[in-house]
Chain A
Amino acid sequence: MAEFKDISPNASAGEKLTNWFENRFPTAFYEYKKHMSEYYAPKNFNFWYVFGALAMLVLVIQIVTGIFLVMHYKPDAALAFGSVEYIMRDVPWGWLIRYMHSTGASAFFVVVYLHMFRGLMYGSYRKPRELVWLFGCAIFLALMAEAFMGYLLPWGQMSFWGAQVIVNLFSAIPFIGPDLALLIRGDFVVGDATLNRFFAFHVIAVPLVLLGLVVAHLLALHDVGSNNPDGIEIKANKGPDGIPLDGIPFHPYYTVHDIFMVSMFLFVFSAIVFFAPEMGGYFLEYNNFIPADPFQTPLHIAPVWYFTPFYTLLRAVTSEMMYVLIACVVVGTALAVAKAKIPALFKGLIVGAALAVVAMMMAIDAKFWGVVAMGGGVVILFFLPWLDNSPVKSIRYRPTWHKYLYAAFVINFFVIGYLGTQPVSEIAGRISQAGTLFYFGFFILMPWWSRLGTFKPVPSRVTFTAH
């Protein structure tokens, strides 16, 4: 309970008004200080630190444009496609709302991928920020669900067949698969029932989860404080007033900074919305301007670009590839038995577990393991805080070859992303498989490679040059 504060009768009208509210709703004032004016962020943030704020902006854009779209959209297999065209043609400024929403979906993934890569570079997931990272990964997962279900709603050919392909993947899960796929679709094929439930999830269920996770992500972040490009804990160097010496109030310093970045982002965003809303078929696929037709399978079904890296992981797991993966399990187990300093009982357990895994890998169809690879590609991100054993957080003080490894990871991500948009071919298949091994190798071997090399000394204070 906050004390009631009396104010001098000579105070200005503005001060009196503020006092009136502060006595009746002190929480707002307390939270404003905690999260804005007295939240001390490291003063050496660089360009990479803007994407969190931009992700929030895009979330707001998606929610607001989404509300207006729902006013005119019809979640009915017979009417959905036409209602989108109605929005594009007859609803005043409907085309703008729709393009903002469709471009916003892609923009969301662009900023989230960059935001995640920032975390990767500067070790933002390391102690004590593990939960911030976990909430973030959960946001990414929810975002993928949101985007996937939203993509069905225009009810075009790619909407329909994309959903058909992805939901069918679930049926590859042993025992429960077929029933699970049936539960998701609500029918034996993607149809009106699927459209209705995806609509419900897209406009209310997943957004609620997403908002809750965003709040948790931010609260956890503000409890532990932001990391920075040097990976130094600024709370370790506090002034006599208890304020970190390298900290700076979030408001106004980072709010003005973010407003500047927001205006640059909106410039690029608007350039796409107004001049290239289809983005060469990457943001709006050409085939999706044909109404869904269950009797006509498109020659080439490709997911939207932001799913394609994970789609490649799925497609890379062929029955041939299974031999490679089994060999990886065997070699890994052999190394664990030979090198690890653990009791013989544990070694026995490891061998037993490995045998069970290999048996399952041989018994169950490669399609299922493809699904596992696709899901695993996302899930493995959750484990990052415990995979990284580097003695320093930031890439700035890591051995130079670590930087090249990160660069290779990013290039690989682009390559498998590109291959995911392409039809299957012999050579593309081989590159996909190499890319898949690299993607997982990067994470699974991280506990070892992240310790290797000569690390540079980490300074005690952040590096900052005045603007």
Chain B
Amino acid sequence: MKNIKQLATGLVMVLVLATGAHAASGGAVLDKAPGKTTDLASLQNGAKVFVNYCLNCHSAAFMRFNRLTDIGLTEKQIKDNLMFTTEKVGETMKAAIDPKQAKEWFGANPPDLTLIARSRSGPGSSGADYLYTYMRTFYRDDTKVTGWNNLTFPNVAMPHVLWELQGERKPVFEERQEHGHTVKILKGWEQVSPGTMTQIQYDQTVGDLVNFLQWMGEPAQNTRVRVGVWVLLFLGLFTFLTWRLNAAYWKDIK
């Protein structure tokens, strides 16, 4: 029996090491997105930014407008403030752009954003982390058709849609010798021209936006966690009862 316990401990350790190694192979370092999907004010602001800036080119084909009631909005508020592409509040979020034109202008169809936060998750980082970093690393690049490039997603077809808010920035690199190669390391950013928002305001706005995207990927996620707590409490109690029941039956077996 002792051997089997040792064996089991060994197995658990292998598993932990394997998962750790999996997490470590993540790639580029991403900033942590600040939002919480339970923060309704942040989600509402994110929804506003989303329909104003993203929904022009991107769709959210599985997301219905009236689902926004889950983040504390009334159907009237949704209709009056957030619906530009459709009349019916039960409709899904369509893009304003014609997909054919989009393909012509950008060389690629802007992807649907309903599940973007889920599909962009990776080991050790959430999709929100990725998107938060991505939306804050655009810079001017005149060699590109759109005039913009991105550090997180190099050569992306998308221009910097929020540039009026953020202003123009350019990355500052430091060159360093590593293993005989010259590597560029990002030192920081230099503001080229100011936007309508300060750095902090912009980060906050993007934080709200990606928080909304994270929520939209799975609108049931807050319900899921809330229900889960009760389920586990019940099962904890049930386990105790069945444990005592089992002991009661087995106490006479010699």
Interface positions of A (Cβ within 8 A of B) = 43, 82, 85-86, 88-90, 95-96, 99, 121, 248, 252-253, 256-257, 259-260, 262-264, 266-267, 270-271, 273-275, 277-278, 280-281, 286-287, 289-291, 400, 403, 406-407, 410-411, 414-415, 418, 421-422, 466-467
Contacts and interface: CB of A to CB of B under 8 A. Distances in A.
Contacts of B254: 466
Contacts, number: 126
A467 B250 contact: yes
A274 B253 contact: no
Given A88-B220, A263-B235, 17 more contacts: A82-B61, A85-B62, A260-B242, A260-B246, A274-B224, A280-B123, A286-B121, A290-B119, A403-B7, A407-B7, A411-B10, A414-B11, A414-B14, A418-B22, A466-B250, A467-B251, A467-B253
Contact of A259 (B23, B236, B245): B245
A88 B251 CA distance: 46
B235 A266 contact: yes
B165 to A, nearest CB: 28
Nearest to A95: B220
Nearest to B25: A422
20 contacts: A43-B253, A88-B218, A88-B220, A89-B67, A89-B220, A270-B228, A274-B224, A274-B225, A274-B227, A274-B231, A275-B225, A275-B228, A280-B23, A281-B121, A286-B119, A414-B11, A414-B18, A466-B250, A466-B254, A467-B251
A402 to B, nearest CB: 10
B36 interface: no
A400 B7 CA distance: 12
A51 B11 CA distance: 18
Contacts of B88: none
B33 to A, nearest CB: 16
B3 interface: yes
A271 B15 contact: no
B232 interface: yes
A263 B239 contact: yes
B122 A281 contact: yes
Contact of B228 (A121, A274, A406): A274
Contact of A274 (B62, B232, B242): B232
B239 A95 contact: no
Nearest to A252: B249
B68 interface: no
A456 B67 CA distance: 67
Given A89-B220, A411-B14, A414-B14, A267 B239 contact: yes
Contacts of A286: 118-122, 127
Contacts of B219: 89
5 shortest A-B CB distances, which residue pairs?
Answer: A274-B228, A289-B119, A85-B62, A260-B242, A289-B118
Contacts of B238: 263
